[in-house]
Structures are given as C-alpha cells and as structure tokens.
Structure 1
Amino acid sequence: MKKSSIPQEPPRLRSFALLVVLCSFAVGILFFIFEHLLVILSADTILSPFVQNYRVWLLLAFSGVILFAVIRHYGGALKRDEETIAHLAHYDTVTRLPNRESFQGRLEQAIIDARRVGGEVEVSYLDLDRFRTIVRTLGLSVAQNLLCDVAERLSKAMGEGEFLAHAGGDEFMVLVFEGGAPDKAKGLASRLLESIRAPFVFDGQELHLAVSIGIAIYPHDGEDSEALLKNAYAAMNRAKEMGGNHYQFYFSDLSAYSTLTLLLENRLRRALEEEEFVPLYQPQVSLADGRITGMEVLVSWKHPAHPGVTPSEFIPLAEESGLIEPIGEWILRTACLQNRRWQLAGLPPLRVAVNVSARQFCRSNLVELVKEVLGVTGLEARWLALEITETVLMQDVEETINTLNGLKEIGVHVTVDDFGTGYSSLSYLKRFPIQTLKLDKSFVTGIPVDADATAITAAVIAMAHAMSLSVIAEGVEREEQWTYLVEKGCDEVQGYLVSRPLPAEQFAVFLRR
C-alpha cells in the first residue's frame, strides 16, 4: 500500500549560500591582486584614481553581484511558490488527484461546450461503502494510504474523455465529456465497480471495499454544474441506501425522496424512545422433515406519519447515522427475552437468529454484550444465532477470527448471511468458526429456470457440505424452488412459502399448530 505525501519543495538555500561563498572568495582574490598592483601602479598615471579607490569599486561590484543573486534566487523561488500554491489549489494533497475546484471548472467548461453543440455531459459521484468503519478500526493513516490505492485503481479505469477528481474524504467524481448515453454510463460504472472489487492488501491482510455510484447527465438532470453535482450526489445516496456496491441513475422524484430521507432520519432518533419498532419473526423450516427449526427476527417501524416505511429504507439510515447500534442492541435483547418467554410457556425450544450490523460487529465489546444479554434474559447460548454478512466478515480477517472465536466459546451459533454476494476467499472461509451459510435470495429467486442461479446454488450447497456447514436458503416463495432445493440437499429454507414475518403473538399461534 502506497504512502500518501504532500509535495515538498526542493532545498534552494544551499545553492544560494554556495553562490555567496564563491563571490566572497572571488572578491578576496581581487583584493589581494589589487593590493599588489597598487604598489606597481602608484605612479601618477591615468589608472591611479581607479587603483587608489579600488576597494570602493570592488565593493560596488560585489554588492551588484549579491543583489543580482538575491533577485534571481528569490524571484525564482517566488515563481516556484506561486506554481506550488496553484497546484495545491487544484490538486488533493493525499491522492494527488485534481480536487473539487478543479473538477468544477472542467465541468462548467464541458457544459458550455455541450450547450453550444447540443451535446451531453455525464457526472458520476462515487462514495466508498463503510469506509468510516475502516477509519475507526485501523486509523486515519491506514485510511489515507488506502485512499491512495483506490485513487490509483480508479485512475487506471479511466478511458478517453473521462476526468477523475477527488471530492474529499472517501468521495470521488468522474466527468465524461460528450457522455450521456445510458449504455456508456453503465459501462463506466461497471468498470469503476470492478476496479475496486479485488481486495486491498495491508500488512499481509486483505481489506475488501465497495463503492456506491450516482449518475447525473446534462441537460436532462440539471442545466448547470451545481444542479448536476447535487443530483449525482442524491443518486449516489440512493445507491448506498439500496445496499451499496451498485450504481444509480438520477430520476426526477429522487430530490423529494432525499427530503423524505432527512425527515425519516430525524424521526428515527425518537423511534426507540417512543417504542415505534416492532419485532417480527419468520420461521425457518427443515427440508428433511418439514419441522420448524428456528426463526429470524426482523424489525418493522410503525412510523406515525409514514406507516409504509420498509426496513430497506430505514436500516441504511440507521447504519449511516450510527443509530444502528442502540437499535441492534434493542433487537438482540428483545429477541432473546421473547425466545426465553416462549420456552417458559412450554413451546418447543428454537434458535432465534439476529442480524448483526457492520458497526455492531466492529465493536470491541460485541462478545461481552452478547454474554450480558444472555445472562440477563436467561436464554442459553445455543438458542441464539448471529447472522453476519459475508462482506462484514471480510473487512478485517484477523479481528473477525478473534470475535468469532469469542462467540464460539460461549456457544453462540454463527451464520454467514447473504452468502454469494460478497468476495470472500474460501481459504479465509475455512478459518472462520462458523456453522451455517445462508444463500442469498437473489440466487433463490432464479431457480430452477435461471441456469446461472441454479448452478451457483448447487455449487454452494455442495461446497458447504464438504466443509461440514449447513445451508439455509432465504426468499423461498414457490413450490418449484422448494423442490429443487430438496433435490440438491439444502438443509433449511425461509420465505413466504412457509410464512411471512409475524408479530410475537401470531408467531406463537403459528408454533402451536
């Protein structure tokens, strides 16, 4: 990983001092020569006035040389300083890429040129997903070095007529002159996503990054640079809210959506205090005998003004704002307490699966928190499963292994969620003390008609069983999906074919049937 640096000016005083020394030495020699010439030419000749006043003439000559050297030195230094200041005003000191001001100037000129010929200009706004987690975990120095590597990869992905700049922080911008064609914009976005896909290596560890991209096109999405950047940024935020690692074109209703997002975030801060969150439980069923083996706890939000807000809308907001930590802890406590109450009521003991966010998993006290919750609620550790996404597990492999070992010691079951959507290495996967892989519903949706989805599903099931791991498929909604998963030896399923997520009272009724 390359080190970031601020451009340094080369030393100039050394050459100036050397010049002064040489001039002084030369003047000393001249003084010596003229002292001897004074004796020879002391007679009344045409040179005698000059010779007798030679010290004055030499001092004047020496002063002239020094003055010339000073003007030459500091005049050149001033010019170089002006060039350096101009460079720093238009380039980022960490990534060495053009900065926002430079990008703004290029964009304004591109719009002028496009307006004259009736052309189009494309702006892509990039933001690294979960980069704040890396800063908190590994420190600012590592983050800056990582930004340099990201900048280098993005630069290599640039094509003709494409201009890359660093907007600041973990954000980048790309300007495409004479752009605008959707297929061309998609191609650029795919290239940018692919350039970040491979892991970054730091101190022998692999760090996996992803990027969210928003795209706005002149003149359809804005007629000036400010509007284009604002709309590209709004589209980027929408891509991030949809899970990240994707691109999103701007559309006309997105500004209104962004306003609603801000209102929801403000309201989200009061939702816990006012008990607006409701836990829902979705059963997980064994394909071998059809019995219920567990349930995943999900959460809904009874927003008084917007009752239709979905988890896909407010969970990313909670992640971004940091509210996911208290919300996640509340879900963990509520689920464990409810599961224990069901057991005390005589219902068959089941394992409850709780999702763990990136922020929660990176906390140094996650294992202690789980211990404390289990102790307070009285739930045995074997009846709790933590679902952690593949992407989160791969952010810091060594720290992941330490945390997973801590959870294993207390007997908590660990499931890799959304398996197949990240970029994990099987060599690392074997090192993780995990018990279950949860096949992402994007693959389940396509079976059995989609050849790629069926091939991936079959391969994941076979690989997991070879590693002594169980497999649960989520998002099962059709009989033919159930049948195919049975044929391939999948262990468990979850989805609307079995049941939609249910409030605690209804789930208890479901269990008693």
Structure 2
Amino acid sequence: MKMLCSSPSVRQLKPELLADIARALNADGSRLLILAQPLVQHAQIYSYGLQPRSSMPIEKNRLWQNVIHQIDRPLHPHGNSLPAIASALDKVYPVNCVAKLPALAPLLTAFQTAGIQSLLILALSDRDRCVGCLTLFRSAAKESGAGWTNEELQLAQNLACQMYLAVMEQRVEQMVRDRLYHDILTGLPNRMLLSQWLNLALSKMPAQGEFLAVIVLNLTRFKNINDSLGHRCGDRLLQLIAERLQHNFDNEATIGRWSGDEFVMIIPAVSDITSIERVADRTIACFDLPFVFDRSFPRLKTNSLYIKVSMGIAIATSGSLDSESLLQHADTALTQAKSNGKNSYEIYTDAIIDPVNDRLQLENILDRAISDCKLFLHYQPQLDILTGKIIGIEALLRCQDLHGNSLSPAELIPIAEETGSIVPIGEWVIRTACQQNKIWQDLGLGDFPIAVNFSVKQLQNRNLIETIATILAETGLPATALEIEITESIAIKDLDLTISILQSLRQIGVKISLDDFGTGYSSLAALKYLPLDRLKIDRSFMQGLRANSIDVCIVRTIINLGHELNLNVVAEGVETVEQFECLRSINCDAVQGFLFSRPLTASELEVAIATGSYLHQNLFHVHN
C-alpha cells in the first residue's frame, strides 16, 4: 500500500494505475475523471474493470456534481472526512448500497445491470479547488455487507491526496512549457500560471516547521512614466525589472507579472519572519540602482531611470489559507505599505485591517463627496499687520464622513491626490470660493482676494487655465479677486510646467502665493523663477518666535528677501500676542492665525466682519 501511494506512476495517471488502485481497495472497477483545465483541454475520463452500463457519463449525476463542486452532503453516519488523516480536506464519499440512495435512482438500472452493489467516490481536491474525482465500484459478490472499512477509507483518502498533487504538478509543468501562460512582454509566468503554482505550493506545504510567503510588488508612479515617456519606455522598464528580479531571486522564488505594474514573488520553505524581511530588504535594494536604457528612447533626457516600489507580504502555514485569501492579505498589506511611503513593505497582520478599511472608506467618501454634498469650505482672514484690514481670505476644504463628522484634511488630501479625485474636488473648491467671494463683494463686505490651495494633480491638468477662466466668467468674480496658493514642494515637481501655468494665470489677473515658505529645499530657486505676488511664511517658524530667538532671525531674513523682490509677506499660524508683536517689529506685512480667528463658515465670517471680532485686543492702529 505504501509503495502505491508514493509510486512515480501516480504522476503519470495512466489507465493501468486504476487497476492497481482497484486491487488495493478490493474493488472490481475504477473510474477517473480529470476536469478540464481552462483554455487548453477537455475533461478526461479513464476507466478499469467493472463499470455501470450507462449511455451518459455518471459524473453528470447530481451526486458527482456535488462532490466536484464541493457541496458537502454527508453520505454516511460518520461524515465525509476522516480525522485520522492529517489533512481532512480530501473528501471520501462511501455508498454501501446504491439501491438505498435516492440521488442514484436515475442510475440504478445502470448499476444493477452491471452488478454493482457499492461505490466509493474520492474528490481530488484541496481547500476550495477540485481537479477531478475517482470512483471505485464493488460487485455484490465482493461486498461483504460491512461496507468500506476505515483502513480502506484512509488509504483511499491518501491516494486522493497524492492524485490531486499529481494532477496539479502535471498541469503546472505543462503550463510552464506553454507560452499561453507566460506574459508576452517580460516572459515571466502570468496571473493564471502563478495562481496554479501557488495552489500547488500550498498543497505541498509540510504540516509543521515551514511557511510560504507571497510578495505583491507595485511600482510607484509607473503611470507617470507611461504618460510622460511613452508606453514603449514603460514596457522596456518592465522588462528590465523582470530581468533584475530573476537575476537576484530566480533560485529561491517563483517570480511572475501579476498585472500592469505589479509583480508577484512566491517564496516556499520559509523558516521564520526574519528570512522574509531579509528577502523584502533585498528586493527594495534591487531598485537602488537605476535601470539603464539604450539610445532608442529619445524622450529620456538621460539613459537611465530610477523607480521606487511598495510591497505587501502575506504568510501562510500549512492549511491556514487558500491562494485567494493569501493574495488578498498581500494586497491589503500592499495598500498599507503605499500609505507608508516609497520603498516600503508591510507584512500582513490582523492589526492592519482597520487602517486599510479606514482608507478604503475615505476613498469611497471622496469619490462621492461632491454628489453627496459632503464637502464644504471654511474661511480664515488674513489681516494687515498695522491696520487690521482684511487683505485676503483663505478658503480651507472640509469634508464630512457618513455620520456628519468632520474629517482631517491631513488625511483626505494625500488620498485625494493619489486617487485623482483631487481634480474634481479642486474644481469644486475654486467654484465655491469664487461664488462666495462674489456674494461678499455684492454685500459690500470688502474687496479682497480669496485664496485656494492647489495640488500637483491640479497643476498637471491640461484644462486648468480654461477651467478657471470659465469659473470666473460664470461667477462674475474679477480675476484679481482669486489667489492661487502653491507650496515649494509642488512648484519644483515640474518647474517648467509650473512657471508656464502660473504665468498664464497671472496674464488673466489671478494672484499667486507661495505657501509654506522656508520648509522646502529649493526656496531661492522657486523665488527666482516663479511669478509671485505673495510669500506665506510657514507656521513652523511661529512656534519658537520670540525676541532674540533663532526663529526671529530666520523670519526677518525671509521678510527682507520678500520685500527686496516686491512681494507681500504673510505669516500664518500666529497664535500669541508675543508672536504678533515680533512680526510687527520686523516689518511683516500681514498675519493669519487663531489669535485673530479660527477658520469660520461663511455666515460666521460675515458676523465677524460686521462686529470686528477678529480685531484682537486693540492690537491694530486703525480698525476696518
């Protein structure tokens, strides 16, 4: 019996094997159904010895269909799996008397004519995957009345497990040879082959001592490469990445291309978490060096490209997960890794489910924020430091969740940027701010610009100038009453593009402000090239702003620099009288912060303007 289970002939699945199995299990006949593999073959049936005399395959009967589709219906008092076997996932279905089972009534004549008394059906399956079934037949002459013994059932279950592995190995080997299951661009195994490989690897895992790991690797901002350098360049980059991964991991991992910019690595026989972390670190290190191109890519200014990655890792022990769940866990970890920043990885644990679900919920809210009326604006005044006159209003985006609670902009904006929803949301902000400022102008509340913050995605929108011009025309707001705020980091993403767009906006009269000044790496370069009206000193300098402090020296330098360039300078984040007096002593032009007013709704701001409540403790020389 032991030799039969481990015999190499099991892998060959030849009809003579069925004779050996029938004899080993004291049966008169056997029948093997191998289900069709997608795209390449039809179902196959092999038989030996005693068979039912039926004009149609018995496997079309409801009983066999239930077995194949893993619809568990116990056929004997002890259930349909044996606890004595290490894996209870390979099912055995004994039928000791065919005449007593209603499901077999349509086939009863076929069985009785052939003299078949009892059956044993074996599902060739693992977890939720079935590749076929084996049926054994006993005649009335051989049936002792005691039915199939526990020893026979245990042997049958072991055989079913071996045959399942044999079918899977044979299929994977065939797929490896077949170009249909390889990615045309990179030559790597494609999604279908990787799925089969993963199913087989999970089925062959030992009961104890080792893990199996799956890494889903995503290229950061790969779409930008396709969009800016062309798909031919993007395709070549994918080929270079595939070659590098194979060179570094070919002997220890199965590597494939899962989708457009995603690769999958299957790592068997992992001893501990530290081993996986080492593999992850080595994978990230693969992207430290640039990918070198030949001279046939003229849109590349140099002959090389750097790209970063994010990776999600999931780990399985024997019998713990099926392939679909394992990949889903890796995807969940990947989502978390992306939020951690470039060149990072995350190993799946239950603890990361909540933040990932929270992120997905935020994405859904943002996708529907405009149509569901979840967006609104708050407004914070900017005041002349000497007179207290309002010289501008900043419009600040707010959003509500499903329960009406306000969500943090620090959470929302990066997700909106990443998903692309920032473009329609940004357009909504501009339109709403312009409408509101026009209302204030018509009410005679003041003639000041309203400032809105811009993102990278908005600046890259080719219809931006036309959109703003249309909004100004529709709302009737003069262009000089709209101010666009950008940060240094956004400005230098693509300096040439930024300069071109800002110049176009200036030509129609829109004002331009550089926000968070002093926190970037290229402040002076930005000042040299960008067409600006105003500098906003970052709030981080306010925290330590007091007489004779280092922050005062820095802020004074920024103010003097701005004045030399004929720029108005605003300090944001002013919260104390001491900060205000310091700023006034070093000739700052305007202030904004909680000392004067928190961000207000439109109606609250109207009341504040009417009452002058923002004029804190008579700090200003002349009131509005």
If the TM-score is normalised by the length of the shorter chain, which range does it land in? Answer: 0.5 to 0.7
Q: Could you say what secondary structure the match of 2:381 adopts?
A: strand
Residue of 367, 376, 385 corresponding to 2:474: 376
Residue of 495, 504, 509 corresponding to 1:411: 509
Q: Which amino acid aligns with 1:433?
A: P
Contact in 1 for aligned 2:397/2:409 (Cα 8 Å)? yes
1:293 matches 2:385: no
Q: Could you say what secondary structure the match of 1:336 adopts?
A: helix
Q: 1:207 & 1:495 partners in 2: Cα distance?
A: 46
1:361 matches 2:459: yes
1:169 matches 2:267: no
1:307 aligned residue:
405
Q: Which amino acid aligns with 2:607?
A: V
- Measured after TM superposition, the shift of residue 389 of structure 1 is 4.1
Contact in 1 for aligned 2:483/2:510 (Cα 8 Å)? yes
- Measured after TM superposition, the shift of residue 284 of structure 1 is 2.8
1:277 matches 2:352: no
- Measured after TM superposition, the shift of residue 308 of structure 1 is 3.9
- Measured after TM superposition, the shift of residue 406 of structure 1 is 0.8
Q: 2:578 & 2:559 partners in 1: Cα distance?
A: 17
Contact in 2 for aligned 1:122/1:180 (Cα 8 Å)? no
Bigger fraction of residues in helix: 1
Residue of 389, 394, 399 corresponding to 2:497: 399
Change (3 A) 1:165 1:381: farther
- Measured after TM superposition, the shift of residue 383 of structure 1 is 1.8
1:351 matches 2:445: no
Contact in 2 for aligned 1:296/1:354 (Cα 8 Å)? yes
Change (3 A) 1:216 1:386: same
Residue of 124, 140, 157 corresponding to 2:231: 140
- Measured after TM superposition, the shift of residue 358 of structure 1 is 3.3
1:385 matches 2:477: no
Q: Any idea what the Cα deviations from partners look like across 1:235-279, whole Å, max 9, x if unmatched?
A: 54356568x558585664542444454455445454423433221
1:334 matches 2:426: no
Tell me which moved more, 114-123 or 401-410: 114-123
Q: 1:403 & 1:420 partners in 2: Cα distance?
A: 23
Q: Any idea what the Cα deviations from partners look like across 1:279-331, whole Å, max 9, x if unmatched?
A: 11122345566543322212223444352433344445544554433332222
Change (3 A) 1:121 1:281: same
Contact in 2 for aligned 1:477/1:495 (Cα 8 Å)? yes
Q: Could you say what secondary structure the match of 1:343 adopts?
A: helix
When the two structures are superposed, what TM-score results if normalisation uses the length of structure 1? 0.59
Q: 2:257 & 2:583 partners in 1: Cα distance?
A: 47
- Measured after TM superposition, the shift of residue 156 of structure 1 is 12
Q: 2:490 & 2:510 partners in 1: Cα distance?
A: 18
Q: 1:510 & 1:156 partners in 2: Cα distance?
A: 67
Q: 2:552 & 2:379 partners in 1: Cα distance?
A: 28
Q: Any idea what the Cα deviations from partners look like across 1:98-146, whole Å, max 9, x if unmatched?
A: 9879999799989x999976899795854424x5455445543454466
Q: Could you say what secondary structure the match of 2:599 adopts?
A: coil
2:170 aligned residue:
none
Contact in 2 for aligned 1:128/1:209 (Cα 8 Å)? no
Q: Any idea what the Cα deviations from partners look like across 1:343-398, whole Å, max 9, x if unmatched?
A: 22122222211123333322222112212222222222222111234444444443
Contact in 2 for aligned 1:207/1:395 (Cα 8 Å)? no
Change (3 A) 1:164 1:460: farther
Q: Could you say what secondary structure the match of 2:529 adopts?
A: coil
Q: 2:253 & 2:471 partners in 1: Cα distance?
A: 53
Change (3 A) 1:406 1:480: same
2:10 aligned residue:
none
Q: Any idea what the Cα deviations from partners look like across 1:187-220, whole Å, max 9, x if unmatched?
A: 8899799879xxxx95549999986746657589
Contact in 2 for aligned 1:92/1:98 (Cα 8 Å)? no
- Measured after TM superposition, the shift of residue 338 of structure 1 is 0.9
Q: Any idea what the Cα deviations from partners look like across 1:404-460, whole Å, max 9, x if unmatched?
A: 22111112112344556666585566333233444555x4486469x9999987876
1:128 aligned residue:
220
Q: 1:393 & 1:372 partners in 2: Cα distance?
A: 24
Q: Which amino acid aligns with 2:335?
A: N
Change (3 A) 1:259 1:447: same
Contact in 1 for aligned 2:176/2:193 (Cα 8 Å)? no
Tell me which moved more, 163-172 or 311-320: 163-172
Q: 2:349 & 2:559 partners in 1: Cα distance?
A: 39
Contact in 1 for aligned 2:423/2:458 (Cα 8 Å)? yes
Q: 2:179 & 2:551 partners in 1: Cα distance?
A: 51
2:66 aligned residue:
none
Q: How many residues align?
A: 424
Q: 1:92 & 1:454 partners in 2: Cα distance?
A: 62
Q: Any idea what the Cα deviations from partners look like across 1:216-237, whole Å, max 9, x if unmatched?
A: 57589x9768666544543543
Contact in 2 for aligned 1:92/1:166 (Cα 8 Å)? no
Q: 1:498 & 1:154 partners in 2: Cα distance?
A: 57
Q: 2:531 & 2:230 partners in 1: Cα distance?
A: 27
Contact in 2 for aligned 1:430/1:467 (Cα 8 Å)? no
Question: Unpaired runs of 5+ in structure 2?
Answer: 1-173, 291-297, 613-624
Contact in 2 for aligned 1:90/1:98 (Cα 8 Å)? yes
Q: Could you say what secondary structure the match of 1:294 adopts?
A: strand
2:528 aligned residue:
430
Q: 1:119 & 1:376 partners in 2: Cα distance?
A: 63
Q: Which amino acid aligns with 2:185?
A: T
Q: 1:426 & 1:205 partners in 2: Cα distance?
A: 26
| CA RMSD, 1 decimal | 5.8
Q: Which amino acid aligns with 1:255?
A: I
Q: Could you say what secondary structure the match of 1:295 adopts?
A: strand
When the two structures are superposed, what TM-score results if normalisation uses the length of structure 2? 0.51
Contact in 2 for aligned 1:294/1:350 (Cα 8 Å)? yes
Q: 1:401 & 1:365 partners in 2: Cα distance?
A: 16
Bigger RCO (CA 8 Å, 6+ sep)? 1
Give identity over the alignment, percent: 33
